[in-house]
Chain A
Amino acid sequence: MKTMKKIASIALATIMVMSMMTGCGNEAAVDSSVADGSAAVESSVADEATGATFKIGGIGPITGGAAVYGQAVMNAAELAIAEINAAGGVNGVMFEMNFQDDEHDAEKSVNAYNVVKDWGAQMILGSVTSAPCIAVAQKTYEDNMFQITPSGTAVDCIQYDNAFRLCFSDPNQGAASAKYIGENGLAEKVAVIYDSSNAYSSGIYESFAAEAVNYDFEIVAAEAFTEDNNTDFSVQLQKAKDAEADLVFLPIYCKEAAPLLTQADGMGYAPKFFSCDGMDGILAMEGFDVALAEGVMLLTPFAADATDDMTVAFVTAYQEKYGDVPNQFAADAYDTVYAFKVAIEKAGVTPDMNVSDMCEALKAAMLEISIDGLTGNGITWTADGEPNKEPKAVIIENGAYKAM
């Protein structure tokens, strides 16, 4: 009996190792043609083959609790790539993406990075969430591979010069929110409800609080919740209410915001609500009564029901293909792919270049390009990897965004 068990486990192990080895055997060829630019024979082969493509490695959570963000990024990036390829790519060179799951876990994210590296990725789109992105950025820095994260908001995500981001950073959003509230005199007493176990949320809260001292409103309550406790907000709301806050700042995602607004309504508490880009998507949330979001203000670079041609085209195409209304993660990913395209055009890189040379060229090009995307017009980048774009303040009126 024991032997049988052993045989089974050994067989399984062997199959696994074999599949790894065969996998690596196939990829070895790709690797050498990509990574080893000096191998003249191989690179010329790649040149002649019209099949040569720019390979983008995508990393993000497509299973588990954060899957909603990763899937949005994956879908929108696929959409953008399909569009670019349909329009002839960059000088006839097509794009190709391999998107790998990281389960919103730093370790799995690095595993995913290694998989796309074996596949021959020349640039990285990801990781979608902050902590995994930091871990991957360390590896891309070691390999000198060009990386743009569509949505990694933590400061450290782009601490190295090979990494850029498309979204706002946490400090950027927190400070902008405080500024907006202060300058427009929206409130005197402000309460903050944030997710202390989430880098995005706590990052925005910290910079918000730091900036708030410059304006004449007071933070009367700062109540946290954690990922394990994100269903019941009655205590936090009660405290905000007791502190007589006339505005509640919510640097959280719509996943938590929807039940929070429902509960606030249930307890008859109706302050002004102010939020950041994480709130976007709340109107499209299935089953959510949009009347509850009436009057909610948010700073967001993207609004799915904006009427400009680009947004309308994107939202229609996305809905046709995936059935959902795209959120800001999707918009960020879409713009990220275009940033790759524009940077590649600017730098004049070709698929046969090695990863490191390509990275150097793209890095330089990033500082010169400007793109008009879904999340802003004339987005430019600085050497520290941060984008320059204006957040738009919108207010929800009659179930739709309205510019403020």
Chain B
Amino acid sequence: MEFIEFLINGVRLGSVYALIALGYTMVYGIAKMLNFAHGDVIMVGAFVVYTTCNTLGLPPVVGIVVAVVLCTLLGILIEKIAYKPLRGATSNLAVLITAIGVSYFLQNAALLIFGAAPKNFTSIVPYEGIQIAGGQITIDGETIVIIAVSIVIMIALTVFIKKTKAGQAMLAVSEDKGAAQLMGINVNGTISLTFAIGSALAAVAGMLFCSVYPGLSSTTGSMPGIKAFTAAVFGGIGSIPGAFIGGILLGVIENLSKAYISTQLSDAIVFSILIIVLLVKPTGLLGKNIQEKV
């Protein structure tokens, strides 16, 4: 019984990671860049919901819509200002460093705007939990919603990329930018769209993350961001189902090692398992094996 509780909590944590990792992996898969600022967009999303719902007292639905719209715009803006100029730079690392700069910027801007005092986020999930196994185990509403949302988003993303024209364009851009351009695909537009979707996902992830774990401050996004990045790599970066599975697994492993081994060393254990998995399967669980040509 105890084990099941730990497992459920692990899945809940894992779903949060999965949700963030989906945004990460999508941007990585298409734009071929590690967007270190992704975690901070999550924080911005949560703050927007907090401001509209807690401070202004508007209903959660309004908060959700405003947050998604604002984060989408923010994502496009960041891409235009900070990342686009570096497209075609001689090293991929250049844009990685700019992403770090953006991450610092967002954190410090949030610190100045919202103050240093941590906020307590009020859950936007209106549902009560359910009880199973004769009332011995409670699964709260947030857990159910977050698991459902991450599954829906995973499926929606997969369908979007496979079935729509824009999705196909993304695939083409990720394979070969030059060829895609020659085929008449608007590469810049496609990448902007990727960032827009990624940031909208980050907003959703932010509000759900804070609904489950209510502490909100300017650094809220950074640790989940890095964990989600780990999850994305774990599952095979660029792969959407991989990000989902990687996230869930990471959450479960983290929670179980906290429960049965050590609460202090859980990070060390999670990361050790990650290293071992990557040694056995160097491209992650669902990653593509790319043959190197001479």
Contact = CB atoms under 8 A, between A and B. Distances in A.
Interface of A: 62-65, 67-68, 70-71, 196-197, 223-226, 228-232, 234-236, 238-239, 242, 254-256, 258-259, 262-263, 266-268, 281, 285-289, 323-324
Nearest to A262: B214
B120 A288 contact: yes
Nearest to B268: A226
B229 interface: no
A67 B111 contact: yes
Contact of A68 (B2, B117, B122, B263): B117
A234 B54 contact: no
Interface string B243-265: 00000000000010011000110
Interface in B73-121: 108, 111, 115-121
The 3 closest A-B pairs by CB, nearest first: A67-B116, A231-B213, A288-B120
Contact of B115 (A232, A262, A324): A324
B259 A259 contact: no
Contact of A236 (B5, B13, B138, B263): B263
B168 interface: no
Contacts of A226: 264, 267
A235 B6 contact: yes
B214 A65 contact: no
Contacts of B224: 231
Contacts of A324: 115, 117
Nearest to A260: B215
A338 to B, nearest CB: 24
Contacts of B218: 65, 67
A235 B215 contact: no
B188 interface: no
A238 B7 CA distance: 12
B214 A225 contact: no
B213 A266 contact: no
A230 B120 CA distance: 14
Contacts of B117: 68, 281, 285-286, 324
Nearest to B118: A255
A113 B267 CA distance: 34
Contacts, number: 110
Contact of A65 (B216, B219, B267): B219
A202 to B, nearest CB: 10
B266 A229 contact: yes
Given A232-B213, A235-B255, A285-B118, A224 B9 contact: no
B9 A238 contact: yes
Interface of B: 2, 5-6, 9, 12-13, 50, 54-55, 108, 111, 115-122, 129, 138, 140, 142, 212-220, 223-224, 255, 258-259, 263-264, 266-267
Contact of A255 (B12, B55, B122, B217): B217
18 contacts: A64-B111, A65-B217, A67-B111, A68-B217, A223-B263, A224-B264, A234-B12, A234-B255, A235-B259, A242-B2, A256-B215, A258-B118, A262-B120, A266-B129, A285-B117, A286-B117, A287-B122, A289-B120
Residue of A255, A323, A324 most packed against chain B (CB within 10 A): A255
Contact of B259 (A196, A238, A281): A238
Given A228-B223, A230-B215, A285 B6 contact: no
Given A238-B259, A324-B117, A286 B54 contact: yes
Nearest to A233: B213
Given A234-B9, A234-B255, A238-B5, A196 B120 contact: no
A276 B214 CA distance: 21
A228 B122 CA distance: 22
Contacts of B138: 267-268
A232 B219 contact: no
Contacts of A266: 129, 140, 142
A235 B50 contact: no
A287 B120 contact: yes
Contacts of B258: 229, 235-236
Nearest to A258: B120
Given A67-B111, A268-B138, A286-B117, A258 B6 contact: no
A43 B282 CA distance: 70
B6 A64 contact: no
A229 B255 contact: no
Contact of A259 (B50, B129, B214, B223): B214
A48 B179 CA distance: 79
Contacts of B129: 266
A373 B245 CA distance: 56
A258 B54 CA distance: 16
Given A224-B263, A238-B6, A255 B215 contact: yes
Contact of B116 (A68, A223, A224, A234): A68
A229 B9 CA distance: 14
B114 to A, nearest CB: 9
Nearest to A292: B120
A243 to B, nearest CB: 11
Nearest to B142: A266
